[in-house]
Amino acid sequence: MPKLDSTEMQSHTPGTSKTHHPSLATLLGPAFVAAIAYVDPGNVAANITAGARYSYLLVWVLLASNLAAMLIQYLSAKLGLVTRQSLPALLGTRLKKRARIGYWLQAEVVAAATDLAEVIGGALALHLLFGLPLLTGGIIVGVVSTLLLTLQGSGTQKIFERVIIGLLVIITIGFLAGLAIAPPDGPSVVAGLVPRFAGTDSVLVAASMLGATVMPHAIYLHSSLVNDHDEKAPRANLKHYLRATRIDIVWALGLAGIVNIGLLLLAASALSGVSGTDTIEGAHTAIASALGPVVAMIFAVGLLASGLASTSVGAYAGSEIMAGLLHIRIPLIVRRLITLIPALIILGIGAEPTWALVVSQVILSFGIPFAILPLIRYTRQPSIMGEHSNATITQVCGTLIAVAIVALNIFLVALTLAPYFGFDI
């Protein structure tokens, strides 16, 4: 891992030609905000289901998906640093008006679907902790996440990042605490790193884990975060910033990967063969039965932190998408309220939470190609990236990852919708 001089500051000392750069500590943060997308409530049940059904078999899936996410998020951050524009802003300057509006509409639908999953996750956590009705829990999540968003803005961006990092720490403790009581089997974990399946259903579970790895809003947002982090900083040495960004991503997404793998390991060690873990409520009940109420409570606290952090980051992403594609910027809190309404309606009409989560994931699947394909295309163009355009190996890996993710999401959508149209796949 590259090392940065922690004493360097970005300035020019009078009378010298030496350039100083910001310390590593001051550059960390954007990737931790983006990493919240990888530990949102939508991932919890999937990872626990994988571990409960197939024990350690699919550990390799989470490892591979996390490595893919690191590359995709780095490309997004690199695009933002080099061009000083976000991915939505670049799209906004290259698309005609009708195309921009269409692009924005699909992105807004995806943003609403993202919010739906995250608000439902937070509402479920409050229900598990305090027995609150889901609608009441959803309103509380909306209010608290709105307060969190007041920390985001010029001069307060780093405060917002620190709060999100704090929530990420709570998520980590909440989701991994059970491993202290039910540690995984080392040889079985190593065996789980070998790619293999155990029948058609295991392929479907693996596809759902991989297909939900890269979230559209995380791709759009990271290209903004790297510039919002320090808006007025000069870029005398762009390579310094790119190197710091790589470290930021390795640490942040490495932590997110540990959380996801830890959830699977917890389920494999404590819940293997237990039925009813296909829903978050079922997983919580199974954890309480196997590991005790204290561990179950800590898990629910982690789920609450996940819902609050992820829905705040999702609203932030929606604001950047609108600003980039439509050149319209409305108050972030207003956006938060608009995207919150569909989630509250779903909770208010009494829809089954797991069904709502499945629908939201299907909607998200439709939005992934619109984010990932332009990213791969733009970052390989010297006319946009200059000397920082993708190297051949980076472009090949990025293209393969993009094709795999898009194909997996098409596969998941087909499998999800087929029963409703009378097909048996």
**Strand, coil or helix: what is 362?**
helix
CB atoms within 10 A of CB 423: 10
Q: Is the pLDDT of residue 79 over 50?
A: yes
> Where residue 12 falls among pLDDT bands split at 50, 70, 90?
very low
Give the pLDDT confidence score for residue 10 in this predicted structure: 39
**Strand, coil or helix: what is 305?**
helix
Whether the CB-CB separation of 171 and 39 falls below 8 Å is answered with yes
Which of 336, 337, 345 lies closest to 317, judged by CA?
336
CB atoms within 10 A of CB 331: 11
Q: Is the pLDDT of residue 134 over 70?
A: yes
* Continuous segment of H or E residues that includes residue 28: none
Residues 6 or more apart in contact with residue 7 via CB below 8 angstroms:
23
- C-alpha distances (whole Å) from 65 to each of 154, 260, 279, 337 are 34, 10, 22, 32
Give the pLDDT confidence score for residue 9 in this predicted structure: 37
Q: How far apart are CA 65 and CA 259, in angstroms?
A: 13
- Mean pLDDT throughout 60-84? 94
> Where residue 208 falls among pLDDT bands split at 50, 70, 90?
confident
Per-residue DSSP letter, 37: G
Mean pLDDT computed over every residue of the chain: 85
Give the pLDDT confidence score for residue 231 in this predicted structure: 65
Give the pLDDT confidence score for residue 6 in this predicted structure: 37
- C-alpha distances (whole Å) from 179 to each of 268, 282, 299, 322 are 10, 19, 11, 41
Q: Which two structure tokens, joined as six digits, stand for 288?
A: 């309480």
Q: Is the pLDDT of residue 3 over 60?
A: no
Give the pLDDT confidence score for residue 143 in this predicted structure: 92
pLDDT digits (tens, 9 = 90+) for 177-207: 999 999 999 999 999 999 998 877 787 788 7
Q: Which two structure tokens, joined as six digits, stand for 41?
A: 């409530």
Higher pLDDT pick, 274 / 357: 274
Higher pLDDT pick, 39 / 408: 39
Whether the CB-CB separation of 346 and 356 falls below 8 Å is answered with yes
Domains with residue ranges and CATH for the chain: 27-418 (1.20.1740.10)
Give the pLDDT confidence score for residue 309 in this predicted structure: 93
- Mean pLDDT throughout 296-325? 92
Q: How far apart are CA 184 and CA 269, in angstroms?
A: 5
Q: Work out the percent of the chain whose per-residue pLDDT is above 70.
A: 89
Range of lowest pLDDT (75-79, 106-110, 235-239): 235-239
Give the pLDDT confidence score for residue 122 in this predicted structure: 94
Residues 6 or more apart in contact with residue 9 via CB below 8 angstroms:
20, 21, 22, 23
Give the pLDDT confidence score for residue 1 in this predicted structure: 44
